[in-house]
Structure 1
Amino acid sequence: MKKISIVTPCYNEFENIDKCYSAIKKLFNDKLKKYSYEHIFCDNHSSDGTQKKLRLIAKKDKKVKVILNARNFGEQKSNLNGIINTTGDGVLLYFPADLQDPPKLIVDFIKYWEQGYDLVYGSRKKRKENFILSLCRKLFYQFVNIGSNNVIPSDISDYQFVDKKIINEIKKIEDMTPFLRSLPFFITDNYKKLEYEMEKRQHGSSKFSLLSLIDYALNGLLNISYTPFRVILFIGFIISLFSIFLSIFWLVQFLYYPEDVVKGIPLIITAMFLFFGIQTFLMGIIGEYLVSIHKQVKRKETVIEKEKINF
């Protein structure tokens, strides 16, 4: 009997945990009877009673495994730690505690996985977000794919099902700040897309603020792409080329048409501010990469587990 692993990261999801647990249990008792399963909850130091509820569920159901973090390490790191602890032949990398990604899609995930796909990912048909955010999302993936050998689809979500061999490769990657939704695409090109409609959140509110989304996108950019460095190189080349032509232009004008040369320093000041702004921006990008490298080398972001239940 093949085993399926379900990973659910959670933080202050007291109102949703019971329904999340019951949805998975019902699914495997009805439509997925021929599979055994484990449901791993990764709690990110909740303070609303979520941990107490998880203990009670795990006590009565040994298929439920719980990892309690010593502090809040962020959803991505906590999620990855849960993935590393899976033992299934197939693994659902992320199943939301709020059930906004429909449980019924897991049946189709497994069906295509059984047909031989290493990765089956969910793609949301309609996102309840404004035009600007939607445009930024598309531009983000187009940007990170510039010059990349591994093209990441622009419509991916965290709702992904992968084969055990993908998990084995993920475990080899030592990344303290992972961008999880992209990892499987760097390991395999044998994947299948399934479209679905996102459900409405029934209880509580999303823990993702606008600042969290910006941090999430920046982290993804630093982790999966060297595009910023290539852009820096391109901008540097263009600026250098422009400077050479401008210097030649001013030299010719000074030698042959000295009376037309603009007196004063407005042009110089404008150019200085322009190039200073560009340099500051580019130094900021390089700084972000250095911070990311520093965290990785120092291993400051390793998830510390306070307790593990049913492992």
Structure 2
Amino acid sequence: MPKLSVVVPCYYNEENIPVTVAELVANEANFAADDLTFEYVFVNDGSGDGTLGALRRAQAQYPDRLRIVDLAGNVGSYNAIVAGLAHATGDCLAITTADLQDPPALMAQMYGYWQQGFKLVVGNRQEREETGVGERLAKVFHWLMKHLALRNIPDGGFDYALFDRQVATEILKLHERNSNVFYLMLWLGFAHVSLPYTRRKRQIGQSRWTVTKKITLLIDSLVSFSFVPIRAISVVGLGLGLLAFFYGLYVIVLKLVHPNEPAGWTTLMVVLLFVSAFQMIALGVIGEYVWRGLDAARNRPLYVVKDLY
């Protein structure tokens, strides 16, 4: 009998849990396969509220379906997802959010494509009910990733997917740090299907996905999947070198033609400040890559499991 494991990272989702569990269990009726069994792996990512208690109460209701991975501290949603993948036992797996912004009903259609042999099925956010700064930042993020890193990213991006056990195994083998687990799935190269949907507005609780975390994710994703920042430094450096060369020729000629002409202090300061600013930016970009190399070399665990239920 095939088993579908649904991995749900949780961070301050105490109010969401009862509704989310009930809707996921009710969604089982949308699957046409009568022999399919379900497993829900909820990962408590160091929540400081009553999320674990809510999960334990839900597990008492559905003891044959729920598994709880309680992490010792907050490690971020992507590392929490990796922890869920490591403890899931299904033949295929799905990742969804604990706030029900991704429609569970789409999962049955995803499963149908997996049955047809597709290793990866992604739900891409074609439209969003939510508006504001978060929506605009998301559009900028996915545009940059699509044009600077991975060309096969669906428009609107995605963090809702159903995939084969083989994909999960390959992700766990990579031991990637400071990366984007969803984009790693595309990077693996398996043929995939993209299903567009409208991302729902959050109805319960307040999102902890802050602007700072979104910017960090953008930097992590670009550095993990693209060498464009480093190459941009090389191109700009080459351009500045050519400008400096021609300006040097100009200064030499000016000195030969007008030997008594005083040096331009303003010009000197502009050039000095411009080049110094570029050097600092370049060091910052290189530092991002070096820091990630150091973090990988230390080989610290992505997460620490406190308890399993």
1:18 paired residue number: 18
Return the offset for 1:262: 6.4
Deviation, 1:138, is: 4.2
Question: Residue 284 of structure 1 corresponds to which residue in structure 2?
Answer: 284
Work out whether residues 118 and 188 of structure 1, in 8 Å CA contact, stay in contact via their aligned partners in 2.
Answer: no
Q: Is the 2:124–2:155 contact (alpha carbons within 8 Å) kept by the matching residues of 1?
A: no
Could you tell me how far 1:48 is from its partner in structure 2? Answer: 2.0
Please list every run of at least 4 consecutive aligned residues from structure 1 whose deviation after the TM superposition is greater than 3 angstroms. Answer: 129-132, 150-154, 256-259
Aligned-residue offset at 1:20: 1.2
* Structure 1 residue 248, shift from structure 2 partner: 2.1
**Alpha carbons 2:125, 2:158 under 8 Å: kept:** yes
Q: Offset at 1:100?
A: 0.6
Structure 1 counterpart SS, 2:264: coil
Show the counterpart of 1:304. Answer: 304
Which secondary structure does the structure 1 equivalent of 2:167 belong to? helix
Partner of 2:115: 114
Q: Counterpart of 2:88? A: 86
**Is 1:141 aligned with 2:145?**
yes
Following the alignment from structure 2 to structure 1, what is the Cα–Cα distance between the partners of residues 8 and 174?
A: 21
Match of 1:65 in 2: 67
Equivalent-residue separation in structure 1 for 2:12 and 2:2 (angstroms):
32
Kept in 2: contact 1:16–1:203 (CA 8 A): yes
Give the equivalent residue in structure 2 for 1:293: 293
Q: Which residue of 1 aligns with 2:248?
A: 247
Q: CA deviation at 1:17?
A: 0.6
Q: Which sections of structure 2, spanning at least 5 residues, go unmatched? A: none
When structure 1 is superposed on structure 2, of 67-76 and 136-145 the one drifting more is 136-145
Q: 1:30 to 1:158 in 2, by over 3 A?
A: closer
Structure 1: which 5+ runs fail to align? none
Structure 1 counterpart of 2:158, one-letter code: S
Deviation at 1:267, TM superposition (A): 0.6
Q: CA deviation at 1:303?
A: 0.4
Q: TM-score, normalization: structure 2?
A: 0.91
Cα distance in structure 2, aligned partners of 1:155 and 1:167: 23
1:73 alignment partner AA: V
How far apart are residue 189 of structure 1 and its match?
A: 4.3
Answer with 59-68 or 26-35: which moved more.
26-35
Question: What is the CA distance between 1:298 and its match in structure 2?
Answer: 1.6
Report the secondary structure of 2:308's partner residue: strand
Distance 1:87 1:234 in 2: 48
Aligned counterparts, 1:37-48, within 5 A: 37-48=38-49
User: What is the RMSD computed on CA atoms of the aligned residues?
Assistant: 2.1
Task: Report the alpha carbon displacement of residue 269 of structure 1 after superposing the two structures with TM.
Answer: 0.7
**Aligned equivalents of 2:180, 2:287: Cα separation in 1:** 19
CA distance in 2, matches of 1:206, 1:18: 17
- Equivalent-residue separation in structure 2 for 1:123 and 1:132 (angstroms): 16
Shift of 1:177: 2.2
1:277, distance to aligned residue in structure 2 (A): 0.6
> Does the 8 A contact of 1:176 with 1:301 survive in 2?
no
Deviates more, 1:292-301 or 1:217-226: 292-301
CA–CA distance in structure 1, aligned partners of residues 42 and 136 of structure 2: 34
Question: Percentage identity across aligned positions?
Answer: 26
Is residue 126–residue 155 contact of structure 2 (8 Å, CA) maintained in 1?
no
Aligned to 1:170: 171
Q: In the alignment, which residue of structure 2 is the partner of 1:268?
A: 268
Contact 2:43 2:69 in 1 (8 A): yes
134 and 168 in structure 1: CA distance in 2 versus 1, 3 angstrom threshold: closer
The letter of the residue matching 1:89 is D
Q: Deviations over 1:175-224 (max 9, x none)?
A: 23231120111112411111111122121011111111111111112222
Q: Which amino acid aligns with 2:102?
A: D
Deviations 1:100-121 (A, max 9, x none): 1000000111111222222111
Does the 8 Å contact 1:120/1:162 carry over to 2?
Answer: yes
Cα offset for 1:278?
0.7
Q: 1:132: Cα distance to partner?
A: 4.5
